Amino acid sequence: MTVHPERSPRNSERRARRAIGFTQTGGKSKEGATSKEPLLPPKRDVSVVEVGPRDGLQNEASSIPTSVKIAFVNALSASALPVIEVTSFVNPKAVPQLSDAIEVMTGIQRVKGTRYPVLVPNQRGFDRALEAKADAIALFTSATEAFAQANVGTSIDGTFERFGPVAADARRRGFWVRGYVSVAFGCPYLGPVDISAVVSVAERLLELGCDEVCLADTIGTATQESVTSTVQATRESIPIDQLALHFHDTSGSALANVERALELGVRTFDSAAGGLGGCPFAPGAPGNLATEQLIGRMELLGLRTGTHLDAVKAAVDVVRPFVPRLRRLTA
Ligand code: MG
């Protein structure tokens, strides 16, 4: 898989890179990273985690044929994205949009250099993921008890009881494991979230063996101020190269939040091709940060993502006919 050819940044790019704290490729930021190792492989300053096929399609009302989902993931693979979250092995009755998870996971062509995690809530979901020959999983819990109860019907401790054995088994098998903290920047039931609760849950995910911990702005209310305070608190105990952020563009501030997080040393961001996803708590609002927007902004800043923007746009065209909101965008 080819990535961007190496090239010397132009002066304007160098200035932009300095402005957000880059001194070398994948290197330290002025404020953040403490690791002496390069944060990311060469040729990539920022890692884009594509969540469209799972988080995006899960939250779109329309039903997408299995063959289209497979074609979508394959088209995304042609973008050289380092991570594509393919589907979810939650209860198909709870998320009927992704009830074809095994067919999708076994139908895609996996490309070397890309990870293909699947969402897994518990042992039953993990068993199905194993059946589908997954080798990377994403677990999810919440920063608030109210959201955990509403989302999965148990406490935060309850979520850890459900997926703790799964994480241990996955680690033994050599899987890559990601852990999500939902509503890390705001809860639809409680409003502002206690940052110490975010840090505590993130630490528990790391202790469980997660390779990466992702703080999710599930309802899209993060601000540059809350990003600053939350990342500063979290990076005290979570290595910055194991921390990812997941923004929704509900209030149009996702890219500004990404840029603030870059200044703080974060180098991994989630996004969904086409901005798929919407927000169940804000009907009609934009969904996940669009992958095209994220990659485009990184390129403007002179930061390499190692991905092919045109291929991402081509992947969006694969699902466009099946997602009314995307059809409207072209009208
Ligand atoms: Mg999302």
- 5, part of any domain: no
Separation CA 270–CA 148 (nearest Å): 21
User: What crossing angle do the helices spanning 66-77 and 309-319 adopt, rounded to 10°?
Assistant: 180
* Nearest C-alpha neighbor of 218 from the set 135, 132, 131, 287: 287
Residue 244 forms part of a structural domain: yes
Residue 13: inside a domain, yes or no?
no
- Burial class, 109, CB count within 10 angstroms (exposed 0-12 / middle 13-18 / buried 19+): exposed
Query: What angle is formed at CA 13 by the lines to CA 11 and CA 17, rounded to 5 degrees?
Result: 120
Helix axes 224-234, 254-263, angle to 10 degrees: 40
Average pLDDT estimate for 265-277: 96
**142-153 pLDDT, tens per residue?**
999 999 999 899
276 Cα–ligand 1 center, Å: 9
For the chain, give the number of residues.
Answer: 331
Which residues, listed in sequence order, are joined to residue 140 by a DSSP beta bridge? 180
Distance 23 CA to ligand 1 centre (A): 31
Instruction: Give domain status of residue 236, yes or no.
Output: yes
pTM confidence score:
0.87
In a domain, 284, yes or no: yes
Q: How far is the CA of 8 from the centre of ligand 1 (A)?
A: 34
- pLDDT tens digits for range 27-65: 344 344 444 555 444 589 999 999 999 999 988 877 899
Which positions are annotated as active-site residues?
279
Q: Which of 15-24, 110-119, 220-229 is predicted least confidently?
A: 15-24
| Structural domain contains residue 36 | no
Residue 58, domain extent:
44-329
CATH number of the structural domain spanning residue 160: 3.20.20.70
Q: Is residue 32 part of a domain?
A: no
Q: 45 and 25 in contact (C-beta within 8 Å)?
A: yes
- Spacing, Cα 176 to ligand 1 middle (Å): 20
The predicted structure's pLDDT at residue 171: 97
Q: Does 20 fall in a domain? A: no
Give the distance (Å) from ligand 1 centre to CA of residue 33.
26
Domain count, the chain: 1
